[in-house]
Amino acid sequence: MASVPQTPPSPPQTYDELLAALHRRGSSLTRSQRLLADRVMADPEGVAFMTVSELASAVGVNEATVVRFATSLGLDGYPGLTRLCRERLREQAQLLRRYNSLEQLGEDGGDLLESAVALDRANIARTFARIDPTMWDAAVEALAGADRVHVMGLRKCHAPAYLFGYLLRMLREDVEIVTGGAGNLTDELRRVREGDCFVALSIHRYSAETVRAAAWARSRGARCVALTDNPSSPLAASAEHVFYVDAAGPSVLRSLTAFTSLVQALAAGVAKRRGHEARSSLLQEEELLEEFHAYTGRES
């Protein structure tokens, strides 16, 4: 029986889709294509206004290679590539203008709280809208069924990482929160084994230790789940399951609200997946809390 021809993927319509396409192609890229991909991901502002010859010279390839690279992505030649980069530049300019206007609003006594709420609602909506159901199910399966789960997030991502580890510990055994405290990162990573699940959380600027730890865990045979901000994140290269989290805030400080919502939803998915085992763990937790009088106050 004749094989059914596969439908080629649709060309990227946004810069984020372009990054996702480059990430999917990954190791299949030639050396020249990898050089071009790295330049596009690292410097979209520069590429936006480069000519074909300028980009070719900057990367060290010939002009025909640049054109073939753009065409291979389904774009309308090199102009299609620069168009997506320019759109990215416009998006960033709009974001900066929005930050400036919000900061001015705060200085003028405007309702900064209302602006923060609006941004966080948008962060949560965009984050969950981008989740692929198949990847979600696979990630929940990995978190629920792995021999051991390791969760790592440093600096600004420590809070959602700690919350996620805390919630998972209530639902299953063998959950480790990797902190690298007191210089013990290598000691903590030594416990990672094949069959484990390693969860890494980091957004720009990416923690070098988190990125290295995720790559090392993957090399050990652990299934990796990444919570990060965009497809060009170095964590995306190490993870089997990647979730992109929007973190726009009303000032220079980025918001972690969508991170919190996502880890709580993942924990709920693990609880549902483990069923009776999760209920048993929660009952044991409640018995211990009651025995140790962990909480104070009048009984309801």
Residue labelled with tokens 């640049």 = 66
Residue by residue, pLDDT tens for the chain (300 residues) are 455 455 556 788 888 888 888 888 877 889 999 899 888 887 787 888 889 999 999 899 999 999 999 999 999 999 999 999 888 777 666 555 555 555 554 455 456 677 788 888 888 998 998 898 999 999 999 999 999 999 999 999 999 999 999 999 989 889 999 998 877 888 899 999 999 999 999 988 788 899 999 999 999 999 999 999 887 788 888 899 999 998 887 666 788 999 999 999 999 999 998 887 777 777 777 887 787 878 776 554
Dihedral sign (CA 154, 120, 199, 234):
negative
Domains of the chain, CATH where assigned = 15-84 (1.10.10.10), 128-290 (3.40.50.10490)
Could you give the CA distance from residue 120 to residue 201 in angstroms, rounded to a whole number?
A: 19
Q: Which two tokens stand for residue 166?
A: 């805390």
Report pLDDT for 119: 84
Report pLDDT for 106: 47
Number of other residues whose CB lies within 10 A of the CB of residue 191? 12
Angle (CA) 179 181 184, round 5°? 95
Which 3 state secondary structure label does DSSP give 140?
Answer: helix
Could you give the CA distance from residue 279 to residue 283 in angstroms, rounded to a whole number?
A: 6
**Is-contact 83 72, C-beta < 8 A?**
no
Q: Which residues is 150 bridged to in the sheet?
A: 176, 198
Report pLDDT for 300: 42
**Is-contact 202 160, C-beta < 8 A?**
no
